[in-house]
């Protein structure tokens, strides 16, 4: 009885932890990548306003 419950909880814990972990990871990465994109855009904008030549 207790052993089957242990297997049951481990099984679902693995599913939940991986799913939520992935969701948090990906959502966090979106912000990071968008920040990087914004920085690059600003840099390019600045260069466009003051052409080097």
User: What residue ranges bind another protein (CB under 8 A)?
Assistant: 1, 3-5, 7-8, 10-12, 14-15, 18-19, 22-23, 26-27, 29-31, 33-34, 36-37, 39-41, 43-48, 52-53
DSSP secondary structure letter of residue 21:
H
13-44 burial: b if 16+ Cβ within 10 Å, else e: eeeeeeeeeeeeeeeeeeeeeeeeeeeeeeee
The distance of closest approach from Cβ of residue 46 to another protein in the complex, given in angstroms and rounded to an integer, is 7
The distance of closest approach from Cβ of residue 39 to another protein in the complex, given in angstroms and rounded to an integer, is 8
């Amino acid at each position: 009885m207790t052993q089957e419950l242990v297997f049951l909880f481990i099984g679902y814990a693995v599913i939940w932890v991986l799913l939520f972990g992935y969701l948090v990871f990906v959502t966090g990465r979106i912000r990071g990548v968008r920040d990087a994109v914004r920085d690059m855009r600003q840099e390019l904008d600045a260069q466009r306003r003051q052409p080097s030549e």
